[in-house]
Amino acid sequence: MNEPTNTFNVALVFEDSIEKRIIALSNAITAAQKSSGVLGRETPPHLTLVQFEGHHETVNSCWRSIASCFPRSVELHFSGLTFLPSTSGGTWIEISVQRSILLENLQRRVLQVISPLIPLNKVGERYRPHVTLAKIDTLYPGPVALDPNLLRSTVEGVPALGVSGGAFEFNLIRKGRDGSDTP
C-alpha cells in the first residue's frame, strides 16, 4: 500500500520570547474580528523557505541533509506589516522580512536536497519572505495596538520542519540543525 503524502514546510522558527511577541500581535489583530487562523503553540510563527508534498518516511530520512544546509541560526530583519487581499476574500496580514542573499541561498540548497520534489510556494525571484500573523475575513483589520520595536527588529531564526494542514496550520515536527530539539 502506498504511504499517503503530506504537505511539508521547511521553515525558520523563533526563540520563545520573540515567538510570544509575534503570537501576542497575532492575537491582538484577531481578537475583535473573524479570523481563519490563529498563531499559538500548536501553530507557531514561522518563515517558510520551501513547502512541498512528500511521504513522511522520505522527508524524515532526509531531514539531516536539509538541516545541514543551515547555519545554527539565521539573522532575519523584520521590516513592518503587509496587508494582502486574499483571492478567497478577506486579508492576509504578515510581518515583512527583508530578502537576503542568505535566505535565497538557503532556499536554493533545500530545493537541491528535496529534488525532484516540486515546491508549492513561490521560489527564486518570486519568493517573498514573511511571517503570517493572521487571515481575517474583512478587508480592513481596524485599529490594532502594534509592537513597533518587534516590527523593526532583527531576530534569529532556527531551522524547522513542519506539516502544513491548510492555509495557516504548521505542526512542528523537528527543530534545530540536528533535529534533536523536537516538540
Distance separating alpha carbons of residues 55 and 97, to the nearest angstrom: 30
In a domain, 182, yes or no: no
Please tell me the distance from the alpha carbon of residue 115 to that of residue 109, in angstroms, as a whole number: 10
Per the structure, the complete domain to which residue 80 belongs is given by: 5-175
Q: Is residue 127 part of a domain?
A: yes
Q: Of 20, 37, 18, nearest to 29 (Cα)?
A: 37
Within a domain: residue 180?
no
DSSP state of 119: B
Tell me the torsion sign for CA atoms 50, 161, 129, 43.
Answer: positive
Cell of 84: 494582502
Q: Does residue 19 lie in a domain region?
A: yes
pLDDT for 168: 65
| Cβ 131 vs Cβ 95: under 8 Å | yes
Domain total in the chain:
1
Q: Any alpha helices (H) in 31-88, and if so which ranges?
A: 56-61, 63-67
The tens place of each residue's pLDDT in the chain, 183 residues long, gives 467 788 999 999 999 999 999 999 998 888 878 887 778 877 899 999 999 998 888 888 888 888 888 888 899 999 999 999 989 888 999 999 999 999 999 999 999 999 998 999 999 999 999 999 988 888 777 777 778 889 889 999 998 888 887 666 778 777 776 555 544
Question: Which pLDDT does position 183 carry in this prediction?
Answer: 47
Pairing of strands 5-14, 154-164: antiparallel
Asked whether 133 and 92 are in contact (CB, 8 A), the reply is: no
Residue 105 included in any domain: yes
Are the C-beta atoms of residues 162 and 18 closer than 8 Å to each other?
no
**183 occurs within a structural domain:** no
**pLDDT for residue 1:** 47
**Residue 163 in contact with residue 171, Cβ under 8 Å?**
yes
Residue 21 lies in a domain: yes
Question: Contact at 8 Å (CB) between 90 and 136?
Answer: yes
| Residue 157 · residue 76 · CB < 8 Å | yes
Provide the CATH number for the domain around residue 43.
Answer: 3.90.1140.10
